[in-house]
């Protein structure tokens, strides 16, 4: 039996989030009840603190409870599914308690895309294959989109979820409710958060004014470094030239020489604090993937480094990110002198908006690919 998978790009998915006119609201009638998305959004708006606490789709308790996948060989239904499963990998199987609804899935392709089969089954009865849920998105993890079975407000459904912005936690959820024998009309919910930054100083070996000035730019360094990391991954996945990291504009000749010298020196054993023994944070400095950049604070030139910790299990570096301010190295210097070190955590501070419509329209250029 043919199963249809509707694929659009993540860009189209974001466009469907309600900024433009891509979503079409269902015509309101007195007899038509609100969609599951409208009811979900209404309940979430009444408990914004709970939304901020969970903030991770697909599991947003108590409203969305995802099905747990199991290896297919462990499921009694697999002996009936196996003759119909023609993909190369053994699938995992999800099911929802209290229903006969199942989803078998595996990951295929360079985009790490979800390939699935949906079916109904009861012991003693033949397996009945179902169409792919009518959701106009493509569940590929490299595009930041995924899908699975879940109960939404206690109702069985298939959901696909992705980020509205790869730089934050804002989410878009597409929901296709299960109506007993077929899929109901799908609809979207978008969740946008507000964000704040928590700057923690780990070390100061310079005058307070220098450390204070560095602390004031630490959050912005973190924001730009994170955005750069996202762009770098997207470029890598697309096979294009990766971007360059910039903080205070493009580099001149002297800046490039300064950064090149700092990068040449900057291995952990060649980094020392201005005073005191080597601190614990230095043991976890990651020289690879670190971004060096010139930084002017109060008219004085320094070298800044944004990097991730080499030891993500370290408790005190729970955010796994470092911003280090170095003294500019001279041509004969063999070590980098660390003046100040910070970690910065960006977290959700509140809910900006939760929006839903009663249905969504398929884009005219949607590509529908049969998966056999």
Give residue-wise pLDDT tens across range 46-105: 999 999 888 777 778 899 999 989 999 889 999 999 999 988 889 999 999 889 999 999
Q: Name residues whose C-beta falls within 8 Å of residue 55's C-beta, 6 or more positions apart in sequence.
A: 169, 193, 348
Interatomic CA distance for residues 283 and 268, integer angstroms: 7
Q: Among 286-290, 307-311, 341-345, where is mean pLDDT lowest?
A: 307-311
Position 272 scores a pLDDT of 76
Q: Which residues pair with 283 in a beta bridge?
A: none
Position 309 scores a pLDDT of 62
Interatomic CA distance for residues 229 and 291, integer angstroms: 10
Look up residue 68 and give its two tokens: 């747990």
Coil, helix or strand for 192?
Answer: strand
Between 180 and 4, the higher pLDDT residue: 180
CB 159 within 8 Å of CB 152: yes
Position 17 scores a pLDDT of 42
Pairing of strands 336-356, 271-273: parallel
Distance of CA 120 to the CA centre of its chain: 32
Q: Among 117-131, 263-277, 333-347, where is mean pLDDT lowest?
A: 263-277
Look up residue 336 and give its two tokens: 């980098």
Interatomic CA distance for residues 194 and 349, integer angstroms: 6
Coil, helix or strand for 241?
Answer: coil
Q: Name residues whose C-beta falls within 8 Å of residue 112's C-beta, 6 or more positions apart in sequence.
A: 140, 141, 142
Tell me the pLDDT band of 372, cut-offs 50, 70 and 90. Answer: very low
Look up residue 187 and give its two tokens: 């609809």
CB 92 within 8 Å of CB 78: no
Between 359 and 258, the higher pLDDT residue: 258
Q: What is the pLDDT of residues 180-219, one digit of tens each?
A: 889 999 999 999 999 888 899 988 988 999 999 999 999 9
Phi, psi angle pair for 92, to nearest 5° = -100, 155
Specify whether the backbone of 365 is left (phi greater than 0), alpha (psi in -120 to 50) or beta: alpha
User: Please, what is the Cα angle at 23 between 167 and 140, to 5 degrees?
Assistant: 45
Q: Name residues whose C-beta falls within 8 Å of residue 125's C-beta, 6 or more positions apart in sequence.
A: none
Pairing of strands 3-7, 64-66: unpaired
Interatomic CA distance for residues 199 and 216, integer angstroms: 9
Position 85 scores a pLDDT of 92
CA atoms within 13 A on the CB side of 60: 26
Interatomic CA distance for residues 331 and 295, integer angstroms: 18
Interatomic CA distance for residues 102 and 121, integer angstroms: 8
């Amino acid at each position: 039996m043919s199963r249809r998978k509707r694929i659009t790009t993540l860009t189209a998915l974001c466009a469907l989030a309600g900024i433009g006119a891509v979503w079409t609201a269902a015509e309101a009638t007195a007899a038509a009840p609100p969609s599951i998305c409208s009811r979900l959004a209404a309940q979430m708006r009444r408990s914004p603190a709970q939304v901020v606490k969970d903030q991770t789709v697909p599991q947003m308790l108590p409203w969305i409870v995802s099905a747990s996948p199991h290896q297919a060989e462990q499921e009694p239904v697999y002996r009936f599914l196996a003759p119909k499963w023609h993909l190369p990998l053994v699938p995992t199987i999800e099911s929802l308690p209290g229903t006969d609804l199942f989803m078998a899935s595996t990951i295929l392709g360079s985009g790490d895309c979800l390939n699935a089969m949906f079916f109904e089954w009861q012991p003693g009865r033949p397996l009945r294959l179902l169409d792919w849920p009518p959701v106009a998105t493509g569940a590929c993890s490299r595009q930041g989109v995924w899908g699975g079975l879940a109960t939404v407000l206690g109702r069985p459904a298939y959901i696909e979820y992705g980020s509205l912005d790869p730089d934050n936690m804002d989410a878009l959820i597409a929901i296709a409710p299960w109506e007993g024998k077929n899929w109901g009309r799908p609809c979207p919910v978008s969740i946008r958060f507000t964000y704040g930054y928590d700057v923690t100083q780990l070390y100061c070996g310079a005058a307070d004014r220098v450390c204070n000035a560095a602390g004031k730019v630490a959050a912005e360094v973190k924001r730009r470094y994170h955005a750069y990391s996202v762009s770098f991954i997207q470029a890598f996945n697309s096979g294009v030239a990766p971007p360059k990291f910039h903080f205070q504009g493009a580099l001149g000749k002297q800046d490039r020489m300064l950064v090149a010298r700092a990068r040449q020196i900057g291995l952990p054993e060649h980094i020392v604090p201005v005073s005191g023994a080597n601190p614990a944070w230095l043991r976890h400095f990651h020289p690879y993937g670190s971004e060096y950049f010139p930084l002017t604070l109060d008219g004085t030139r320094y070298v800044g480094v944004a990097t991730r910790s080499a030891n993500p299990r370290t408790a005190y570096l729970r955010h796994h990110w470092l911003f280090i301010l170095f003294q500019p190295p001279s041509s004969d210097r063999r070590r980098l002198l660390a003046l100040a070190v910070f970690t910065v955590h960006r977290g959700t501070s509140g809910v900006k908006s939760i929006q839903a419509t009663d249905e969504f329209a398929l884009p005219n250029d949607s590509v529908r690919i049969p998966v056999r």
